[in-house]
């Protein structure tokens, strides 16, 4: 036990440091250093010890990186603090299994080539984490690289592919430090190749500008979450948004954030009439988050109202588990009742309806958490000329979440080389160009109207054409070859 104490403590420190590779800190080199430490300390251990070290690493990685989850559950979900902490810990404990399994499986089945198998298994399991049981694609290792040289790989192989580049570099440095001279030269060659290729790819432009721009206004109401849905606040909310929007009626697009109108569309006619009156003498395309109820099916949706000549809607399809719907309701309903966790019951919109065609542009639509799912944006390609994302990060207060969420949005702009407009309730609202540069951003927690212009693009990136399939095939084939080679030795 004593001989394992220092390595276990070291992987805890490495896991605790890894969240600082992401926004708002952006020490992206830690995304290589921290897995390097983990891989090195799991190498030549038993599979059981490797699993424990991997689990400790991940427990602190996610425990620090997504600790903000308890804020929304406790302060705004009506849940007692103990229930909120239990629920947050259960999620962290579950997602920590993925990195732990990557080192466990590498030692267990690829013992002679475990250091090569670790990055392959890491990224395949990270991809699995992104969709299994609805998925939680947050703090993907590749996301940390939005401001590094290695972002050059995102338009080609996406977020997960870039993540593989990062953890494979970590494994290569382990080889240099711990292996014989022959394989060290191979690792050095690989590192040099990755850096050289990134330098070549970085200036490449895969999409084509339409030589047309839109003037846009993003309105941030900064309505506190705890009073947002109170009936007595509705008039104040609408008056605030209308006042902030005065400059926006001269823009091509005027965008309000997620559920900015705190009513169902079907009973909001009085409020929508005020907006239509403002819109009458302008050429502005207006959109806002609003809840929508289908009176025929009795389903209701988290939606975006697009108001020009007629009212159209985009309905959110990737819902937040335990926030917008309850997975495994017969099994979990009683448990959540004990913990006093209230539930929403939204329905999923059509997952294929990701674009809205207007006379301004073809818009790729998303709401809040959907921007963490790259495939959702890919469904809008290549038709979309620009991405729209409305969100409400007020749920997470003054935490890391809004900064991490903005960084995720930046990844989508790099993968598809499209500009993105991000309107949020309390910030960070932003205009992001096709290569992840933040053109304008709002301060947090104050009412703000963000006005600027944005370019439109067309065309496909390699990642837009092929998605994650090449990366998944390559990693799977390499693992099979390693497995066969390991069994022969």
Q: Mean of the pLDDT values across residues 81-102?
A: 90
Of the pLDDT bands very low, low, confident and very high (cuts 50, 70, 90), residue 52 is very high
Domain ranges of the chain: 2-204+467-488, 208-460
Per annotation, catalytic residue among 34, 42, 368, 475: 368
Measure the CA angle with vertex 371, ends 323 and 221; round to 5°. 70
Section 152-177 average pLDDT: 97
What is the reported pLDDT for 299?
87
360 neighbors 253 (Cβ within 8 angstroms): yes
Neighbour count for residue 332 (Cβ, 10 Å)? 15
pLDDT of residue 341: 42
pLDDT at 457 over 50: yes
* Architecture of domain 208-460 in this structure: 4-Layer Sandwich (3.60)
- The confidence band for 335, taking pLDDT boundaries of 50, 70 and 90, is very low
Span of 157-171, 189-203, 387-401, 469-483 with lowest mean pLDDT? 387-401
Give yes or no for residue 430 having a pLDDT over 60: yes
Looking at the predicted structure, is the pLDDT value of residue 287 above 90? Answer: yes
Q: What is the pTM of this model?
A: 0.93
Residue 81 has pLDDT above 80, yes or no: no
The answer on pLDDT for 383 being more than 50 is yes
- Average pLDDT over the chain reads 90
Q: State the burial class of residue 246 (Cβ atoms within 10 Å of its Cβ: 0-12, 13-18, 19+).
A: exposed
Q: What is the rounded distance in angstroms from the CA atom of residue 32 to the CA atom of residue 93?
A: 23
Q: How high is the pLDDT of residue 342? A: 43
Query: Residue 1: is its pLDDT beyond 70?
Result: no
Residue 316 known to be catalytic? yes
Catalytic residue among 42, 228, 258, 410: 258
Which letter, b or e, does each residue of 44-59 get, where b requires 16 or more Cβ atoms within 10 Å of its Cβ? ebebebbbbbbbbbbb
pLDDT for residue 423: 97
- Whether residue 12 is predicted with pLDDT greater than 50 in this model: the reply is yes
Q: What is the pLDDT of residue 76?
A: 54
Query: Which stretches does DSSP call E strand in 173-299?
Result: 208-220, 253-255, 261-264, 285-293
| pLDDT tens track for 37-49 | 999 999 989 999 9
Catalytic residue (one of 228, 316, 360, 410): 316
Q: What is the mean pLDDT of residues 219-238?
A: 87
Residue 217 contacts residue 451 (beta carbons within 8 Å): yes
DSSP 396: G
Per-residue pLDDT tens for 385-394?
999 999 998 8
Residue 113: CB partners within 8 Å, gap ≥ 6? 482, 485, 486
If pLDDT is split at 50, 70 and 90, which confidence band does 74 have? low
What is the percent of the chain where pLDDT is above 90? 71
Residues 6+ apart with CB under 8 A from 296: none
Q: What is the pLDDT of residues 394-415, one digit of tens each?
A: 888 889 999 999 999 999 999 9
Report the alpha-carbon distance of residue 5 to residue 39 in Å, rounded: 17
**Which residues make Cβ contacts (< 8 Å) with residue 183, sequence separation at least 6?**
175
Of 157-166, 273-282, 456-465, the range with the lowest mean pLDDT is 273-282
Q: For residue 367, what are the β-bridge partners?
A: 390
Flag whether pLDDT at 78 surpasses 80: no
Strands laid side by side in the 355-357 sheet: 355-357, 362-367, 386-391, 420-424, 430-432, 438-441
């Amino acid at each position: 036990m004593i001989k394992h104490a220092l390595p276990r403590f070291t992987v805890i420190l490495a896991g605790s440091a890894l969240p600082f590779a992401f926004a708002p800190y952006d020490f992206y080199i830690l995304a290589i250093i921290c897995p390097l430490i983990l891989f090195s300390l799991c190498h030549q251990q038993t599979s059981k010890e490797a699993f424990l070290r991997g689990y400790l690493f991940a427990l602190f990685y996610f425990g620090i990186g997504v600790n903000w989850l308890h804020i929304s559950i406790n302060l705004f979900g009506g849940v007692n603090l103990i229930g909120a902490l239990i629920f947050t810990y259960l999620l962290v404990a579950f997602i920590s299994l993925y990195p732990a399994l990557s080192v466990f499986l590498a030692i267990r089945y690829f013992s002679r080539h475990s250091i090569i198998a670790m990055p392959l298994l890491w990224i395949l399991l990270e991809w699995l984490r992104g969709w299994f049981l609805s998925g939680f694609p947050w703090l993907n290792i590749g996301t940390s690289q939005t401001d590094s040289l290695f972002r050059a790989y995102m338009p080609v192989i996406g977020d997960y592919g870039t993540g593989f580049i990062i953890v494979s570099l970590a494994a290569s440095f382990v080889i240099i430090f711990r292996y014989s001279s022959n394989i060290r030269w191979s690792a050095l060659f690989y590192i040099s190749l990755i850096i050289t290729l990134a330098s070549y790819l970085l200036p490449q432009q895969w999409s084509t500008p339409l030589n047309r721009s839109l003037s846009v206004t993003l309105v941030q109401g900064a309505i506190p979450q705890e009073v947002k849905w109170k009936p007595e606040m509705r008039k104040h909310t609408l008056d605030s948004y209308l006042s902030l929007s005065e400059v926006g009626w001269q823009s091509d697009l005027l965008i309000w954030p997620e559920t900015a109108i705190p009513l169902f569309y079907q009973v909001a006619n009085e409020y929508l009439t005020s907006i239509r009156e403002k819109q009458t003498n302008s050429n502005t395309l207006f959109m806002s988050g609003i809840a929508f109820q289908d009176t025929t099916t009795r389903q209701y949706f988290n939606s975006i109202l697009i108001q020009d000549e007629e009212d159209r809607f985009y309905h959110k399809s990737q819902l937040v588990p335990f926030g917008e719907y309850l997975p495994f309701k017969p099994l979990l309903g009683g448990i959540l009742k004990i913990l006093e966790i209230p539930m929403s019951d939204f329905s999923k919109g059509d997952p294929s309806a990701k674009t809205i065609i207007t006379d301004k542009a073809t818009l790729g639509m998303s709401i809040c958490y959907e921007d963490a799912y790259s495939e959702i944006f890919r469904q809008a390609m290549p038709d979309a000329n620009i991405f729209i994302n409305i969100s409400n990060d007020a749920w997470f207060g003054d935490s890391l979440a809004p900064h991490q969420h903005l960084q995720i949005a930046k990844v989508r702009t790099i993968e598809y080389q499209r500009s993105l407009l991000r309107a949020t309730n309390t910030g960070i609202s932003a205009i992001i160009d096709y290569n992840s540069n933040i053109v304008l951003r709002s301060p947090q927690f104050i009412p703000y109207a963000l006005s600027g212009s944005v370019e439109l693009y067309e065309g496909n990136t390699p990642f837009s054409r092929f998605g994650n399939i090449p990366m998944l095939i390559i990693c799977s084939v390499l693992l099979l070859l390693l497995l066969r080679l390991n069994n022969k030795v």
